[in-house]
Chain A
Amino acid sequence: VSLEVPCPNCGQRPYTEFTFGGELRDLRSDDAEADYRRVYLRNNVAGEQTERWFHAFGCRRWLTIRRDTVTNVFHEPGSGIDPVRG
């Protein structure tokens, strides 16, 4: 236990209550090549990324949130990220 995820419904909660959903990806792609990249390749950024977390042992809601993967600093939930399109 070393991370706390700011859940918009439940507040600061230990990450062990969550399932990590990975970086936010597009829902669809324009062509086969882009789709291949969308499905199989990850950006794996060192820095800020938008990602999905599922509060499995809490409100059972998904949240879309920005986190700095280097410092593990989360940005406040509801920081203007559209959960549908990112």
Chain B
Amino acid sequence: VASIRFEGRSVQLRSDDTVAAALFRGGVRTFTRSIKHHRPRGLYCLTGDCANCLVNVDGTPAVRSCVTLAEDGMRVRREGGWPSTERDLLAVADRLHPVMPVGFYHKTFIRPRIAWPLAERVIRRATGIGTLPTGRTPGRKPARTAHTDVLVIGAGPAGLAAAGAAAEDGASVLLCDEARIGERLPPGPALERVRALREEVSPNTGITLLERHMAVGVYEGPFVPLVGEREVVHVYPGRVIVATGAVETHPVFAGNDRPGVWLGRGAVRMVAGHGVPIGDRVVVVAGTSEGVDHLRALVDAGANVVAAVIPPGSEPPPRTPLLAADARVASVLGRRGVGSVVLETATGERRIACDALVVSIGTTPRDGLLRMATGLPVVGAGEVVSPGCSLDEAVESGASAAAGSDVAGAAAEAPPRGSAGYVCVCEDVTVHDLETAWREGWRSAEILKRYTTATMGACQGALCARHLASLAERGVSASSRSNGALTTARPPARPVPLEDLAAGVFEVVEKRSALHDRHLAAGGRIDRSGSWMRPYTYGDVSDEYRAVRERVSVMDVGTLGKFLIGGRDAATLVERMFPCNVADLAPMRTRYLLALDEAGYVMDDGLVCALGDGRYYVTSTSGGAEQMDAWLRNWIDRYGLHAHVIDQTAMLGAINVAGPRSRELLERLSDANLGATALPPMGAADVTVAGIRCRALRVGFVGELSFELHHPRGRSAELWDALIGSGGDLGIRPHGLDALDVLRLEKGHVYLGQDTLPDDHPGKLGLSWAVDMTKPDFIGRTSLERMAAFPLERRLAGLTFDSPPQRGAPLLVGDRVVGRITSCASSPALGAPIGLGWIRAVDGAFPTEMRAGTVTATVVATPFYDPKGERQRA
């Protein structure tokens, strides 16, 4: 026999059991503890609307057990309450209710301020609806996109009719429902009607049916994500028909939240559908014809109805003791569950002993999706716009919604007001709380909502939004038919696991260079650097540093952005886009390149190399490659130039060979003349190294003789191996980003993004030399001119320190913050800590000495190392 594990015992299953039905049959009455007062809560709606039945299933918290089919072997437990949900000592909170008024936190934990962290810890432990699973890999649901003319949400009578009519008109239709069609309907005319309509819905009529797909929300577009059991569907419909029906009206009276108080549909589903009696003595209060149907269904299923209230003129089932038609529930009494109900009539009160109370007094639109769709092509059909309408009316309304008319039904009647009891069951907000809040001056629905948190719980106001609106409207309007005070609805309409929201976006970009495996094999510590995975060190940062300064080293710089610019107007494009002079750039010479935006701020930097045939080779930083590509393409487009750009970032690898003996190493592998005359600093040459065609650029970031070898990516590993293999006797070893950080800092080179701010013009960075203001036009030129009229109030400066500082530390003169350290490292060359940082002018002059904590910082000129650049030019 199939069974589920429930808190250490086994609970047997019958076919079609939901988790809630199985547990209820197994004797469970308290399913949850309420969030603040720890009151016991039991099954109530059984339609997936309320939050009373949330349990933990297989480690997932807050699962709606009433709409979750039980499967053999499921592990189910309740959450909330201490030591257990069944016996919860924290229920003392319920008695403290009078001293814990609405707005308790705002009023109580104001001072002393230091008490709050402690109070927060206690409160957090005592409240909440479940424990987040930890140490578990979230499920990875795939997401797919669907386009459709019409999306119909809800496959009841109105939804099915709407789908059928829209398909008949030739529209493509997607019909979804969070359940299987008819699954949640009790036997009766509605179910028969739905089954008949179901026959007409099949794929060959142009209708795609997605059962057990829940609409999370209606976003602008419109865009509607559907969460299914195994997939998430992102639907882009032309228009949406919401046919989500109605939920039975939540009655408000003292004790209305007790286990044993049921909404009519829930009671019928449990008794007639699952065959489990809800009590020995049942009282039914019906206010509508649907309620009378429920009463009849309960009697037919064998429930012992000891008293019933039905509307005048309706026909009761035989042998049912009736009470006066005007009787309404005043309160429910009892210790844990229902012990008796007090009914109030014109002639007085009457108390009836019972153990279950079924209330069916009307319907409230389940219109969260509709209310979040203002200004979109979204209409409602059926009960969601005309609660309480007949089956025929629902079908008719579906058809006219399909035809495009906005079916404005009768506005939902405000639910009857109660004088006591829980308005918002999820968040433990009572009539008393709302009245207190009203007296305190919170006099609109939106503000009452935020102050009391009513409607903000797991049911998202399904039960209480109209109660709140009705309360907020008093004094404003005597009308009981207006929905004007309803709060704005927002997605999600139902609780959604975060992993479902993330469906389809779990793929994290992780770019690997062609040399990734070589780095791993060499013991590289590889980590993220932007979207790339790059080696930070191969184990000995200081020897990696020494290899560059004293011997020879290689670094994988294949991550740099690399662009080939060609076409008739290539020179014009480069000249107009960038602030450096390109016109006088001789063939196979490179120049440092800043990319400025129109405001003159530095976006990125790199190099430009004239290839001599009218084409240009441009590099950018690793992180800026995508932006550079878009930037180049933008200006080709905007200027209307005959130029094109090929993004070679992924097709070319690049290795920087650096160090005093780098030329010696390369000469072993190449016949090309790499001498200082043939390939001078900032020169470029197409050469063959180890049999591989390379473009060698004599540029470098590290301040030593160095050659960047750009080559086809497919041959990167071969080139790397050849370089390392031939350099053994020269003491070659690769260096990673950690060594690079020290090497570049000694040269005073900035890391864009780390040392810079978004509004840095070249002057602030000491990079004015890279801007040719004699050029008549380039992007950002007019802005630079404008800014040149103002004194420099902030600049990046080289710093030395008397002891190691903290990166990011503020720089102070006296008590005044005048700057911040953006980079710092201990320099082996200088034998002292060095850094870069922002400094601000004080009274028109830049400070020369500052304090960072206990450290003294002194402004010095950069580069720190080899200021004349002789080593680089060797």
Contact = CB atoms under 8 A, between A and B. Distances in A.
Interface of A: 1-4, 12, 14, 19, 21, 25, 27, 29, 32, 35-36, 38-40, 52, 54, 56, 60-62, 71-72, 83-84
Interface in B577-627: 598-599, 626
Interface string B635-653: 0011110000001000000
B701 interface: no
Given A83-B638, A84-B639, A84-B640, A72 B220 contact: yes
A17 B732 CA distance: 44
Contact of B634 (A35, A40, A62): A62
Nearest to B234: A1
A18 B13 CA distance: 51
29 contacts: A1-B225, A2-B220, A2-B223, A3-B220, A3-B221, A4-B236, A12-B236, A14-B145, A14-B236, A25-B598, A29-B782, A32-B786, A35-B783, A38-B598, A39-B782, A52-B634, A54-B634, A56-B626, A60-B629, A60-B630, A60-B633, A60-B647, A61-B633, A62-B633, A72-B220, A83-B638, A84-B638, A84-B639, A84-B640
Nearest to B627: A19
B219 A2 contact: yes
Contact of A39 (B219, B234, B598, B633): B598
B139 interface: no
Contacts of A35: 782-783, 786
Nearest to A34: B782
Contacts of A36: 786
B642 to A, nearest CB: 13
A2 to B, nearest CB: 4
Nearest to A38: B598
A40 B759 CA distance: 12
Nearest to B599: A39
A3 to B, nearest CB: 6
Nearest to B504: A1
B258 to A, nearest CB: 42
B637 A83 contact: yes
Contacts of B83: none
B354 to A, nearest CB: 50
A1 B145 CA distance: 11
Contacts of A84: 637-640
B776 to A, nearest CB: 11
Contacts of B626: 56
B640 A39 contact: no
B375 interface: yes
A72 B221 contact: yes
Interface in B210-251: 219-221, 223, 225, 234, 236
Contacts of A52: 634
A84 B636 CA distance: 9
Contacts of A71: 375
The number of chain B residues touching the other chain, given as a range, is: 20 to 34
Nearest to B634: A62
Given A35-B782, A39-B598, A61-B633, 17 more contacts: A1-B219, A1-B225, A2-B219, A2-B220, A4-B221, A12-B236, A27-B638, A32-B786, A38-B598, A39-B782, A54-B630, A54-B634, A62-B630, A62-B634, A83-B638, A84-B638, A84-B639
Interface string B355-393: 000000000000000000001000000000000000000
Which 6 pairs across A and B sit closest by C-beta, in order of nearness? Answer: A2-B219, A84-B640, A2-B223, A2-B221, A62-B637, A35-B782
A60 B639 CA distance: 17
Interface string B129-160: 00000000000000001010000000000000
Contacts of B234: 1, 14
A38 B145 CA distance: 39
Contacts of B640: 83-84
Given A60-B629, A72-B220, A21 B634 contact: yes
A72 B630 CA distance: 24
Contacts of A14: 145, 234, 236
A35 B647 CA distance: 32
Interface string B748-788: 00000000000000000000000000000000001100100
A19 B626 CA distance: 11
Contacts of A29: 782
Contacts of B236: 4, 12, 14
A54 to B, nearest CB: 5
A40 B626 CA distance: 24
B221 A56 contact: no
A83 B633 CA distance: 12
Contacts of B630: 19, 54, 56, 60, 62
A6 B689 CA distance: 48
B358 to A, nearest CB: 42
Contacts of A3: 220-221, 223
A29 B783 CA distance: 12
A2 B223 CA distance: 5
Nearest to B633: A62
A13 to B, nearest CB: 10
A32 B647 CA distance: 36
A25 to B, nearest CB: 8
Contacts of A4: 221, 236
Interface in B635-683: 637-640, 647
B563 to A, nearest CB: 12
B645 to A, nearest CB: 9
A40 B236 CA distance: 36
Contacts of A54: 630, 633-634
B23 to A, nearest CB: 38
B840 to A, nearest CB: 22
Contacts of A1: 219, 221, 223, 225, 234
Contacts of A61: 633, 637
B219 to A, nearest CB: 4
Most B CB atoms within 10 A — which of A1, A14, A32, A54?
Answer: A1
Contacts of A60: 629-630, 633, 647
Nearest to B223: A2
A71 B375 CA distance: 8
Contacts of B639: 27, 84
Nearest to B640: A84
A1 B633 CA distance: 25
A21 B786 CA distance: 24
A48 B687 CA distance: 55
Contacts of A62: 630, 633-634, 637
Most A CB atoms within 10 A — which of B225, B234, B638, B639?
Answer: B638
Contacts of B638: 27, 83-84
Contacts of A39: 598-599, 782-783
Contacts of B598: 25, 38-39
A69 B256 CA distance: 47
B491 to A, nearest CB: 10
A21 B598 CA distance: 13
Contacts of B629: 60
Contacts of A83: 637-638, 640
B36 to A, nearest CB: 35
A38 B786 CA distance: 13
Contacts of A56: 626, 630
A62 B640 CA distance: 12
Contacts of B647: 60
Contacts of A25: 598
Nearest to B636: A62
A72 B223 CA distance: 12
Nearest to B647: A60
A17 B219 CA distance: 18
A77 B638 CA distance: 17
Nearest to B600: A39
Contacts of B599: 39-40
Interface string B398-412: 000000000000000
Contacts of A12: 147, 236
A27 B599 CA distance: 13
A56 to B, nearest CB: 7
